[in-house]
A and B are shown apart, each in its own frame.
Chain A
Amino acid sequence: AQSVSQHNHHVILSEAASLELGCNYSYGGTVNLFWYVQYPGQHLQLLLKYFSGDPLVKGIKGFEAEFIKSKFSFNLRKPSVQWSDTAEYFCAVSRPFGGATNKLIFGTGTLLAVQP
């Protein structure tokens, strides 16, 4: 079965530090990849997504992610974090040709705390 692994469950950084959150998925075929963010008390928001094309994807708020097919990875990066980036981050995968369902499978999430 398809699965998504986020190895960093809790990350604490100081402001201006660089961020990289790992995401690996298990499905070997074509996939759509997503990063979502949930700020405290708010809805899930889409940070960025990859369907095809340039494997380096730019999202909102200075985030980017790189799809490395050979490593089944889609790591999220930001060169310099801010206190306002404190949130929970979820990696997610769906299969574009997985039938009518388009199920989105999430990782367990990474809680990022940025200290001022």
Chain B
Amino acid sequence: SQTIHQWPATLVQPVGSPLSLECTVEGTSNPNLYWYRQAAGRGLQLLFYSVGIGQISSEVPQNLSASRPQDRQFILSSKKLLLSDSGFYLCAWSGQDYGYTFGSGTRLTVV
């Protein structure tokens, strides 16, 4: 069966520090991968999506970037965190049946 792993679960980082959140998928190949951010009162905002290795599309301009170095690995990064980057980050994947599976999320607090 397909599973999705996301870590860490919680993270507290100072302003200006770098960020790396990792997401890996098991049990499927060539999935579409997504990073979402859930901020209080703003629902789930799609940040990045990827349809293949090295292929990244950004949905909103921001301080973050994403990379897909392997078929089932999706990384969210920042060189210098801002206070406004705080939020709950969710990784997800989808397959041919249009179903989505979400990771357990990372709660990021920038202080």
Contacts and interface: CB of A to CB of B under 8 A. Distances in A.
- Decide whether A and B are members of one complex: yes
Interface stretch (B17-25, B43-51, B67-75): B43-51
A105 B43 CA distance: 10
Interface residues of A, number: 23
Contact of A107 (B32, B43, B49): B43
A101 B44 contact: no
Interface residues on B, range: 20 to 34
Interface in A75-116: 90, 92, 94, 96, 100-109
Say whether chain B's binding surface is mostly helix, strand, loop, or mixed.
strand
Nearest to A10: B41
Interface string A56-82: 000000000000000000000000000
B46 A104 contact: yes
A17 interface: no
Contacts of B42: 108
A48 B24 CA distance: 25
